[in-house]
């Protein structure tokens, strides 16, 4: 397939371009700068100059592709509105071809045990905007479109993702890794390479499908923090914060980081034959 991708220069996007190319697909990637164009070119993709706000560019690039993977997100206060307009433009362009939209598992809130895609939604404020956007995306299935939504858990691996940014890097800078509260809340993790493979497989999913992208590891925050402290060279040094202290440092992100979430990820395994290869997140995190 010829696949148009947004967010191709990001943490997940770069690995997804690699996975698409490895699986034999031709990749065209949105690039908003000369540097971004060079990056996607080096990964084997053809750059298309533009930003997520350039809906005409998005529509035309999607129309020239067999499928679309939307990974990009505008880091601004109107991120939700930009995301919705971008999604609509690309779905208009690709028509009945597969359109894979990126959501996030945080919209489920606290799961109260191991959950699946049918769990009720209770998003923290930071991701509440995603709910209506994803409903709008999925509604295209009833009008001849082919939408698929992938909802990643906490992404780690290749020295990136929030565990690296918020824990390892902070440990190196401050001499201790932050942990909100007692850290007993669980996080559903997925390795970035496994997630990239899921995005590739999602291009062949049935229209209207939703998949929680998790690798099957639901780990306590305190254990993740402990592993991160070893990667940071400050083994065992954990700085416990109250939720209010964390909000002062991280804003709305703090409320997402205290969610207690457990997911099986079984639907993607069953329907798409997805087989996450990375099953020891703590060991990989400890190694940095």
Q: How many CB atoms are located within 10 Å of the residue 260 CB? A: 16
**Residue 248: partners with Cβ closer than 8 Å, 6 or more residues away:** none
H/E element, 28: strand 26-31
For residue 100 the two structure tokens come to: 């894979």
Contact 2, 28 (CB under 8 A): yes
Helix pair 79-94, 55-63: axis angle to 10 deg: 30
Q: Is the whole-model pTM more than 0.75?
A: yes
Give the integer Cα–Cα distance in Å for 224 and 187: 9
Ordered mean pLDDT values, 10 residues apiece, the chain (288 residues) = 98 98 98 97 98 98 98 91 98 98 98 96 96 98 98 96 95 96 98 98 98 97 98 97 96 97 97 97 94
Residue 75: its pLDDT value, please? 83
Residue 37: its pLDDT value, please? 98
Residue 77: its pLDDT value, please? 85
- b/e map of 107-119 (b: 16 or more CB within 10 Å)? bbbbbeebbebeb
């Amino acid at each position: 397939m010829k696949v148009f991708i947004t967010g191709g220069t990001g943490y997940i996007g770069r690995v997804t371009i690699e996975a698409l190319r490895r699986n034999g697909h031709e990749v065209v990637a949105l690039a908003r700068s000369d540097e971004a164009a060079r990056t996607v070119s080096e990964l084997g993709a053809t750059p298309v100059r533009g930003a997520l706000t350039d809906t005409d560019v998005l529509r035309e690039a999607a129309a020239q592709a067999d499928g679309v993977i939307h990974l990009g997100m505008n880091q601004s206060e109107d991120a939700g509105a930009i995301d919705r307009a971008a999604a609509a433009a690309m779905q208009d362009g690709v028509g009945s071809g597969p359109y894979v939209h990126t959501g996030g598992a945080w919209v489920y809130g606290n799961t109260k045990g191991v959950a699946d895609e049918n769990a009720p939604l209770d998003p923290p404020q930071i991701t509440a905007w995603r709910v209506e956007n994803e409903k709008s995306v999925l509604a295209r299935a009833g009008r001849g479109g082919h939408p698929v939504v992938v909802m990643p858990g906490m992404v780690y691996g290749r020295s990136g993702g929030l565990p690296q940014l918020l824990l390892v890097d902070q440990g190196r800078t401050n001499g201790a890794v932050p942990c909100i509260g007692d850290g007993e809340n669980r996080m559903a993790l997925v390795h970035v390479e496994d997630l990239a493979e899921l995005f590739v497989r999602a291009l062949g999913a049935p229209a209207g499908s939703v998949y929680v992208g998790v690798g099957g590891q639901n780990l306590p925050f305190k254990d993740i923090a402990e592993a991160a402290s070893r990667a940071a060279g400050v083994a065992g040094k954990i700085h416990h914060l109250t939720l209010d202290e964390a909000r002062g440092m991280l804003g709305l992100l703090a409320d997402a980081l205290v969610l207690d979430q457990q997911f099986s990820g079984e639907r993607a395994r069953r329907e798409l034959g997805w087989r996450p290869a990375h099953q020891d997140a703590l060991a990989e995190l400890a190694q940095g």
